[in-house]
Amino acid sequence: MSGGPSPAPWLDLRPSQLQRHPADGWVLPDPMPLGAWTSRSLAGVIRAMLPIGAAGAPVDAATQAEVDLAVRVTLRCMQPPLARGLMLLFVLLDLAPMWAAVWRPRLGGLRRLCATDGPGAEARSQRDAELLEALSHCGWGALRDAVTAARAAILTAYYDLPQVQRAIGHDPLPHLRDRIALRQRLLQGGVGGPADHLSPSATEVAAWGRR
Amino acid sequence: MGPPLSLGRGVGDEPHRHASASGATGGSASAAAGSPARRLPAADQLRAGPDHRDGDVHHCDVVVIGTGAGGAAAGATLAEAGLDVIFVEEGAWHPTSSFSPWLSETLPRLYRDAGTTLLYGRSTFLAAEGRCVGGSTVINGGMCWRPPASVLAEWAARIGPDFGEAGLDPLFARAERDLSARPQDPWSVGGDNRLMAQGAERLGWRHDRNHRNHDHCVGANTCILGCVTGAKQSTLVSYMPRAMAAGARALTELRVDGLCIEGGRCVGVRGAAVDRRTLQSSARVEVRARAVVVACGAIQSALLLLRHGVGRPSGQLGRNFVTHPNAKVLAVYPDPVRAWQGVSQWGQVREFHEQGIVLAENMGPPGIIAAAVPRLGRAAWAAMQQYDHMILSGVLVEDTSSGRVRRGPFGLSWPSYSITDRDLAQFLTAMRRLCELHFEMGAERMYLSISGVDEIRHPDQLRQLTPDRIRISQMELFTPHLMGTVRLGADPRTSVVDAAGALWDLPGCYVADASLFPTPIGVNPQITITALALRVADRLAETLRLATGRAPRSSPVARSSSVPA
């Protein structure tokens, strides 16, 4: 990897800091305002989909707030009728323990996903995740698609967070800095060498098959 | 904050007007980065969202709506021919130096609907469209494949020899030269691509190296996030700088909502500035021109023209919508592959191309992979611990049917498209093949984009992938290729525009984007879009030159007038 100062310092900025981008002054659209009920529903669905209780998983309130922000910005950018549909979906999923108890009694109950108070909250979160996962495999296509849409919106935002990426052992920035520096070198007449090749090498890859 | 990145050779020197002239929404980009301005075009060449004033009227020879593969190529050609060109773009001008690896920032910045555009049908699925200067070329993989000879032979038969292989060859060659289409350098190739190539070799399958539009691509693998190195020759860093250097102007963050039609002729466009915080329409703006080039993609071009009831002779406007849908296979290997490093799609498995199937890797950042893993909560977390071991790969299937673009209820755009039973069988065959390749190379398990199908851990499980067990509604598809809807042809009874790209029933209005395609092409469409756009622009430039003797050229400042509301 190339040393020296970063050629693109803004790469270090977290998404939530990019309210106004230093390179072009672009502003992040305002998050979609939600009513109190819908807002709680969204928080409940987020919580049910995040890895609450998993070792090393960042799931603190600040992280959940960052996911909430990203989802609301997405809602703002969507076609308005679709955004309203997704908001309704969050409300329905928040109530899933009630209506899904009919066919998944073990996972259901008279509560909302957002009800996180009291003892056993962590265990409930795990059951809620199982419930939503069961819905995503159910026979009713519309319901399946609905859970898939919510999963995509929430998990895309969650696993995009730098602290979450670090926790799964991923940091794209050194690679990007190295590649930016390499291209600058090439444009200035340099030549790429073996050290510039991305690993694993062709020889390693060839050895993988038919183990 | 250190100095901004300078990539030399003009790349990355694209103009980046950043904020309101009043400074209400941000300061100078260069100032923010703590360094002097780089080589930028005159500020009055680029007018961004907050700069638009209600009642602004601009005048030019040609207004081009859209700055993607078609619009930017057409606009640059027209500007270099001496015509006064204004681009109107709904998205903003985001320079290379602003691109980052974060989806939460990139999707709202660069993608239409933040990447949530839906195609409705038996399996409703997502379509990706760029909404920024450079359009979808900023977020695509940069593949440059000419259509197969069989496709061009059909075009020649339908329209004329100019649209056959020989007729279009000079245009393809020009587009490839302009966009620097070439194979990859070895240092840009990552483990996933090598693995796919070696898997194909072991199975005796043909694997072809892609030509991609790049200048010293080094395998950053941020193609879909905006290339952070500026190597991918999107129109943001290729045609747009050329157009601006030739005197073109750009009105960005301006959403066109109608054509100006007077005396049966198209004489301009009207639209509204897009408020950056609410995305609502604000200042009304009009651009008057001798000709209008519509190049906002297969969905938006059709929707714009549908507002005006054109395309009536054939009734084909909005129809013949084709999408090259693709499905994903996420493979998990026992060793780290680090597929997120290295160019996206060094090559493609083309053994089954005659059957309309192409296989390729297409790795994405963790946010995209998490959406592809059918798990939630702790189970998803456990799966994502192996991100470094994963390869996202895909199958692209050539359309055998077509859909339609219409206006839907509640102001929705309503692009409808359904795969057929035959397509389903093709998808399942292709996904089985792709899984075979991954098993051949030692993958431990795979997740398929088929709802209700759990992970695949053994080749025997592939037997369940048959059309009698999988329904179309279970397929979780995706497409970045949107084509058709404003079909080009030689007969007004079966097409919407003529061979010059002019609407049959609206003089002064031309089309120069993927919506022109008479048929699906079975390959990545960028270079074909550009070739057709160059053809449209060449002829339009000639027409306008003949009409006036010589296109006038005046200073950018003198050509705009601002009319108080």
- Model confidence pLDDT, tens digit, residues B489-535: 999 999 999 999 999 999 999 999 999 999 999 899 999 999 999 99
Contact residues, B window 288-327, toward A, CB-based 8 Å cutoff? none
Residues 6+ apart with CB under 8 A from B315: none
- Per mean pLDDT, which of A61-75, B95-109, B303-317, B539-553 is the most reliable? A61-75
3-state secondary structure of B247: coil
Q: Assign B216 a pLDDT band (cuts: 50, 70, 90).
A: very high
Q: Looking at the predicted structure, is the pLDDT value of residue B66 above 60?
A: yes
**Structural domains counted in chain A:** 2
* Chain B residues with CB-CB distance to A144 below 8 A: 451-452
User: A72-123, pLDDT tens digit by residue?
Assistant: 999 999 999 999 999 999 999 999 988 877 777 776 677 888 887 666 777 7
Lowest mean pLDDT among A116-130, B317-331, B426-440: A116-130
ipTM: 0.89
Instruction: Quote the minimal CA–CA distance from A201 to chain B in Å.
Output: 7
What kind and span of H or E run contains B121? none
Q: Which CATH class is domain B44-112+230-318+485-562?
A: alpha beta
Quote the mean pLDDT of chain B. 88
pLDDT of residue B212: 95
Q: Considering chain B, what percentage of its residues have pLDDT values greater than 70?
A: 89
Residues A162, A187 within the same domain: no
Residues A177, A132 within the same domain: no
Q: Does B41 touch chain A (CB under 8 A)?
A: no
Residues A59, A150 within the same domain: yes
Q: For chain B, how many helices (H) and strands (E)?
A: 13, 22
| CATH for B186-214+326-398+420-476, options being 3.30.160, 3.40.50, 3.30.410, 2.60.40 | 3.30.410
Residues A53, A102 within the same domain: yes
pLDDT of residue A115: 81
Determine the Cα–Cα distance for residues B429 and B465; give it in Å rounded to an integer. 8
Q: Looking at the predicted structure, is the pLDDT value of residue B29 above 60?
A: no
pLDDT of residue B9: 26
pLDDT of residue B386: 97
Lowest mean pLDDT among B82-91, B183-192, B265-274, B551-560: B551-560
**Over residues B449-466, mean pLDDT:** 92
Lowest mean pLDDT among A144-148, B416-420, B473-477: A144-148
Q: Assign A191 a pLDDT band (cuts: 50, 70, 90).
A: confident
pLDDT of residue B550: 55
Q: Which domain holds residue A72?
A: 36-167
Q: Which residue has the higher pLDDT, B469 or B454?
A: B469
Q: Which residue has the higher pLDDT, A20 or A135?
A: A135
Q: Which CA distances in Å does B564 have to B53, B54, B86, B360, B561?
A: 8, 7, 21, 54, 10
Residues A14, A111 within the same domain: no
Q: Considering chain B, what percentage of its residues have pLDDT values greater than 90?
A: 78
Residues A113, A76 within the same domain: yes
Residues A127, A75 within the same domain: yes
DSSP track, chain A:
---SS-S-GGGGS-GGGTTB-TTT--BPPPPPP--HHHHHHHHHHHHHHS-TT-TT---SHHHHHHHHHHHHHHHHHS-HHHHHHHHHHHHHHHTHHHHGGGT-TTT--SS-TT---STTHHHHHHHHHHHHHHHHTSS-HHHHHHHHHHHHHHHHHHTTSHHHHHHTT---HHHHHHHHHHHHHHHTT----GGGSPSSPHHHHHHHTT-
Residues A103, A191 within the same domain: no
Q: How far is CA B47 from the centre of its chain?
A: 23
* Chain A residues with CB-CB distance to B231 below 8 A: 183
pLDDT of residue B31: 29
Taking CB atoms and an 8 Å limit, are A70 and B93 in contact across chains? no
* Chain A residues with CB-CB distance to B205 below 8 A: none
Determine the Cα–Cα distance for residues A14 and A10; give it in Å rounded to an integer. 9
pLDDT of residue B335: 93
Determine the Cα–Cα distance for residues B311 and B444; give it in Å rounded to an integer. 53
Mutate to test the interface with B, among A6, A13, A19, A26 (most CBs of B within 10 A): A26
Residues A176, A159 within the same domain: no
User: B272-317, pLDDT tens digit by residue?
Assistant: 999 988 999 999 999 999 999 999 999 999 999 999 989 878 999 9
Residue A30 counted as domain residue: no
Residues A108, A66 within the same domain: yes
3-state secondary structure of B242: helix
Taking CB atoms and an 8 Å limit, are A156 and B378 in contact across chains? no
Residues A70, A90 within the same domain: yes
Check if B44-112+230-318+485-562 and B186-214+326-398+420-476 are the same fold. Answer: no
Residues A126, A149 within the same domain: yes
